[in-house]
């Protein structure tokens, strides 16, 4: 078979544009394809929810691939072990209650499982703003991350959805964008982003479940974004909380969009 360069180009362009167009209207839009965002996407899509995930970076995974100090190992505690098993991720018990997995295997299988159940992931696309109508988040405003990096004056486009999940990690980027709008109050004790606390693994892992919730009508937080918004501590390279937070937000959002 002879290969034609233009046919290769057409295949990529036609297929991508169709997929993007088909996902301009979805049930749930997730910002950030780290462990929390992917887990949320998996559990939602598994239940037939139409999920679109936007990741501004070239690769998915957030902080998971780097493990701890570039040692590609992560720790997961007992309550989250069942998620490793559901994803087919290998692990071993280091000490009672401490399970170790390869960070690359973990993020690879988590990504593959999320895609296989029907969630769509668009990498290199960042969230520039939100669509808010009648006091509720109704969509996202997206643009290529390369446009932002190059400081190009290029207008974004919008997508519509029933709910948005901010899973952008420590920076809680989506919530920051809504906070800066005048007259908007978040569902936090201060009405604003409180800011992430210093490391305290035990407290951070406990708090992340409580902090995973709706922060503004139609906008939910998960993973480190949740702790950052509500002022809970960071926890370092233990990822059970990230996985459990992703699963919890999926359960909350699924009920809210019925």
- Bind-site residues for glycine: 234
Give Cα separations from 36 to 14, 82, 119, 135, 186 (angstroms): 31, 15, 14, 26, 21
Give Cα separations from 86 to 43, 65, 98, 105 (angstroms): 11, 19, 18, 14
Of 170, 225, 244, 232, nearest to 200 (Cα)?
Answer: 232
Binding-site residue positions for Fe cation: 155, 170
Binding-site residue positions for NAD(+): 36, 55-56, 63, 127, 153-155, 224
Please give the order of strands across the beta sheet that includes 92-95: 73-77, 98-102, 92-95
Binding-site residue positions: 36, 55-56, 63, 127, 153-155, 170, 224, 234
Give Cα separations from 258 to 47, 48, 59, 135 (angstroms): 12, 12, 32, 19
């Amino acid at each position: 078979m002879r290969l034609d360069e233009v046919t290769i180009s057409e295949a990529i362009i036609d297929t991508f544009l169709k997929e993007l167009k088909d996902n301009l209207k979805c049930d749930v839009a997730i910002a950030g394809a780290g462990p929390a965002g992917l887990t949320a996407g998996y559990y939602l899509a598994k239940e037939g929810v139409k999920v679109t995930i936007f990741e501004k970076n070239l690769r998915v995974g957030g902080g998971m691939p780097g493990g701890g100090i570039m040692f590609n190992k992560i720790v997961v505690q007992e309550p989250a072990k069942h998620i490793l098993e559901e994803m087919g991720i290998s692990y071993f018990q280091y000490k009672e209650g401490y399970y170790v997995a390869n960070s690359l295997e973990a993020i690879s299988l988590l990504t593959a499982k999320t895609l296989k159940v029907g969630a769509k992931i668009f990498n290199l696309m960042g969230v520039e703003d939100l669509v808010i109508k009648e006091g509720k988040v109704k969509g996202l405003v997206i643009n290529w991350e390369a446009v932002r990096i190059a400081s190009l004056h290029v207008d974004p486009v919008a997508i519509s959805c029933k709910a948005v999940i901010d899973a952008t990690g420590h920076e809680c980027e989506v919530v920051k964008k809504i906070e800066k709008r005048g007259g908007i109050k978040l569902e936090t004790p201060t009405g604003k982003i409180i800011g992430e606390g210093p490391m305290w693994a035990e407290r951070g892992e406990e708090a992340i479940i409580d902090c995973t919730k709706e922060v503004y009508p139609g906008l939910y937080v998960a993973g480190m974004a949740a702790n950052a918004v509500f002022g809970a501590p960071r926890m370092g390279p233990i990822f059970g909380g990230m996985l459990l937070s992703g699963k919890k937000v999926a359960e909350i959002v699924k009920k809210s969009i019925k």
